[in-house]
Amino acid sequence: MTATPLTAPLPALGLTHPRRALPLAAVFGVMQTQSFAPTGWWWMQLLALTGLVVLLRASRSTRMAALTGAMFGLGWFLSGIWWLYISMHTYGGMPAWMAALAVVLFSLYLSLYPMLASAAWYRLTRHAPDARWTPLLFAALWLLSEWLRGVVFTGFPWLASGYPHTTGPLGGYAPLVGMYGIAGLAALMAAVIARATWYRTGSVLRRALLVAVVLGAGWGLRQIPWTEPAGKPIAVRLLQGNVPQNIKFEPVGVEASLDLYRDMITAAPADLIVTPETAFPILVQQMPEPLAHELRTFADTSGSTLLLGMAGADSPVDFTNSVFGVSPGVAGVYRYDKHHLVPFGEFIPFGFRWFVDMMHMPLGDFRRGGPAQPALDVRGVRVAPNVCYEDLFGEEIALSLRHQPQPANVLVNVTNLAWFGDTIALDQHLQISQMRALESGRPMLRATNTGATALVTADGTIAARLPHLTRDALTVQVQGMQGLTPYVRTGNSVVLGAALLVLLGALGHALRNSRDGAKNR
């Protein structure tokens, strides 16, 4: 039986009118946020994106489609990254109104990406809104817009739409296509489901079957071990000092932190002991000699390898956000310098010095480390650190693994999210680490100041974690993994190439329609 378009209900519901469509788009954006941790309702994202596609289908102009996408983005980002206000106002000393305005403006900027994807999809499908390829085009445009958000102006892929699926069936695709590929699959399924709202009969069943097949294949892929064990498990202690951010860099806070982490490190031996980012809030050159000697002696006598978070200074104006490793019986010191720096936090974008000067934070310009730095050997297991924001960038971690002479077996993220209080940011960051574990087929260790300190296994499972805002050490056994997943081997090149091919095909179709229309006139 031929499918029959159901265009009448859309106007009847008022979905073509901005007064209903735009607020509804913002609601769908808030629904999208609920699919991320800590709520973690991955299926909510499919509903939210389905609602967005239905609204775009009901739009009567490219301008209306663009506004719909922008409102979806505004609801999404305002409800998902509001915690930036805390860092700027509570800890940065910025006036409340200005901090709130900064969050709104930043959310508006991030909303440009779903806006562009929405406008482009409407524009390219307006002459063939019911063509079979339109869901594929929506997926391609959504994927490309999310990728652009992750690279333009150094990128901000926080709340990227592949992350909700770390615990869902689509997470099985992570070792193959990575987070952006999952974002494209989610968008494809949403567009396929949306078509069922304006078609009758057997087409609905076919679409339901397609969605079921994609989800079922994802669950099946989750059962495949893409990497294999490397060596014996190692004992690890992950330290969470819970040092208040408002005193961390004050003289009293510096002294307290040095004593605290000395005591936490030397409390018990382990194969690897990891402190959070800037656990020692000083330059490594400022480390008191008695403390350095005590830590070195502990490492040598206990057989413990130490990973210490602190800043480095290779000259009076050359600073790095680093992790330093002290290995038992090894005279030298391992060093990892953060590669992907945070705008405003670790480097100041051109023209924004005034903004940084307003904030009472120890901000400045840091030097970037190399993209593929060597791993640290811990009893034959190679451990690769990354610092805070860096684990948002799966492509860079994949590049590092495939370019290391001996790829790391374990990933370690050290971070300090105390800037954002006890908010959803902590759980969101943990979910990001889950995706990196899935993509790479390697466990991810997390040592944080206030949370979430955790062990994420190679299949993305949170095997152990500490409660937020507690002072404790998480002791775990970690199995290193070896081998490269397909995603680590290729990065984002495959999914980006496929998305571009779909986009080029749609552009060609739109051009032919334009020429045919001109001839008919």
Which residues carry out catalysis?
277, 338, 388
DSSP string, 435-448: HHHHHHTS-EEEEE
Task: Give the type of residue at 470.
Answer: T
CA distance 458 to 488: 14
* Opening angle at CA 148, ends 458 and 343, nearest 5: 80
**In which residue are the tokens 């081998």 written?**
483
CA distance 509 to 513: 6
CA distance 135 to 121: 9
Relative orientation angle of helices 62-80 and 18-34, to the nearest 10 degrees? 40
Instruction: Name every residue whose Cβ is closer than 8 Å to that of residue 499 and which is 6 or more positions away in sequence.
Output: 139, 140, 141, 143, 144, 184
Pairing of strands 376-378, 481-482: unpaired
CA distance 162 to 151: 16
CA distance 245 to 243: 6
CA distance 274 to 241: 11
Instruction: Name every residue whose Cβ is closer than 8 Å to that of residue 53 and which is 6 or more positions away in sequence.
Output: 138, 190, 191, 194
Cβ contact 363:370 at 8 Å? no
Within 35-133, residue ranges assigned H as helices are 42-58, 62-80, 84-85, 96-125
Chain centroid to Cα 63, Å, comes to: 30
- Class of residue 107 by CB neighbours under 10 A (exposed 0-12, middle 13-18, buried 19+): buried
Task: Give the type of residue at 232.
Answer: K
Cβ contact 502:456 at 8 Å? no
